[in-house]
Chains A and B, each alone.
Chain A
Amino acid sequence: MATPVQSGVIGTGGGDLVVDGLVDEIEAVRAVQAGDLAAFAPLYTAYWPTVHGIVLAQAHTVEVADIAQDVFVTALSRIAELRDPAAFGGWLATMARHASVDAVRRRRSTVVVTDDVRIDVPPPRLEALAVLRVIRELPAAYRETLVLRLVEGMTGPEIALRTGMTAGSVRVNLHRGMKMLRARLGADDGGDNA
């Protein structure tokens, strides 16, 4: 049975935060389940950063967009299985995590042929990849939250809302993850901030 509309309010520990748009999203999920595939479009736009970030935290960067797109295709084809429309975010995030794990496993048996293509990576992206590498070395619980915060630009409450994690978990992950990241980046720079 669907969760009532009160799920539009989430606790943050610092007082309840009313989340605009969640009620609309629940309605959109219900519409898609009723057969209106076009109603999925706003959900796709709203959840793209979440799915992209979750996949980016694990999978190879060149495959991230494809894997993220696959997640939405799978979600759209299986949305009838979702019993609680309010749980859409958590359901989608779980699907994205599984897809990332599958992609990492699959990549081990993939031959990438690169004979006739030279890909020039622009310097800003190289720097970003270097930081991403450090984030990926952090414990699994922190790296996903940090990627959503630092790459996708999502706020803490937004991460909790979109991934189905509790507000407390996100807060702890962000706090401890940032602390570890700062220490490691500081160590990489010569230990100034470590």
Chain B
Amino acid sequence: MRDDAWWDGDDDEHIAALQRELAPLREPPPPWGDVHARARFGTAPQSRASAGRRILAAALAAAAAMALGWWFGRGDAQPATITPVPAPASALESVPVADPQSREREPVASPLVVPIPVPVVAADEAVATAARRELLGRQFARLNEHEKARAAGRTSPEQDEAAENVEAAARANDLPESPTAQEVKDALAPLKGAAKACGVQHGATSGETVKIKLSIEGATGRVTSSTAQSPHAGTELGRCVAEVLANARFPRFRKPSIGVVYPVAM
């Protein structure tokens, strides 16, 4: 008895016809060397299990911060870990808040992939939204108090600077959820020339397309990961184009991060 007949209900012709029709969807495995190299250099994608642990840790941290804030009752212990608000309201009383735009880029772990920082995950969207609104309200109230104090000549230059930083941080909450496709195109357009030069440098054929996957951090608008996609993953050409596009700067947005796949025709 033929094995396949037992499994498929003896429908040879139909199976064979469908297999012929679906054959174009088969893909040969990419070179083993790519997988080997990526495994050796530790660029394995993050697993669901570790993502689950990160979400749980973020949720616990958020709950702890909220409990502390409630306990002390003064609002100084902000639940900053559950919202993308870049600066706590207490910054007015302590150190100036650093502008996210002026932060130095994180060092690149490997020439191909920049590790994506763990996004801060809201334990509960409703709680996060409520906390964000409350924090915003407090920030603007303190800003108003500061304005009155400044008008009365009772503030120092450091306090003025801190107030401006907090105001900028508060304005960040008016950011869009994520950039539009046009904004993404506009941000990448200035780098196209340099990216195409990679094709000349590495002997790409005319019309060859290199797809680059970018991860963009919402708080800063910076690229946190730039990776060439198959069939250019692990190639010099892919690495070159990925490095060029890693320099793109995008408008800031509220989501922790988004992914963008950008094809560059050589």
Contacts and interface: CB of A to CB of B under 8 A. Distances in A.
Contacts, number: 163
Interface residues of A, number: 64
Listed residue (B25, B27, B28, B230) with the most chain A CB atoms within 10 angstroms of its CB: B25
Contact of B23 (A102, A128, A129): A128
A38 interface: yes
A157 B260 contact: no
Interface stretch (A1-9, A22-30, A83-91, A107-115): A107-115
Contacts of A98: 47-48
Given A40-B36, A70-B45, A156 B255 contact: no
Given A65-B230, A113-B262, A114-B263, A14 B22 contact: no
B178 interface: yes
Nearest to A170: B7
Interface stretch (B86-94, B122-130, B168-176, B179-187): B179-187
B36 A38 contact: yes
Interface of A: 12-14, 17, 37-38, 40-41, 44-45, 48-49, 52, 56, 61, 64-66, 68-70, 72-74, 76-78, 98-99, 102, 106, 109-117, 122, 124-125, 127-129, 131-132, 149-153, 155-157, 170-171, 174-175, 178-179, 181-182
Interface of B: 1, 3-4, 6-9, 11, 14-15, 18-19, 21-30, 32, 34-36, 38-40, 42-45, 47-48, 51, 178-181, 184-185, 188, 192, 209, 213, 229-231, 233, 255, 258-265
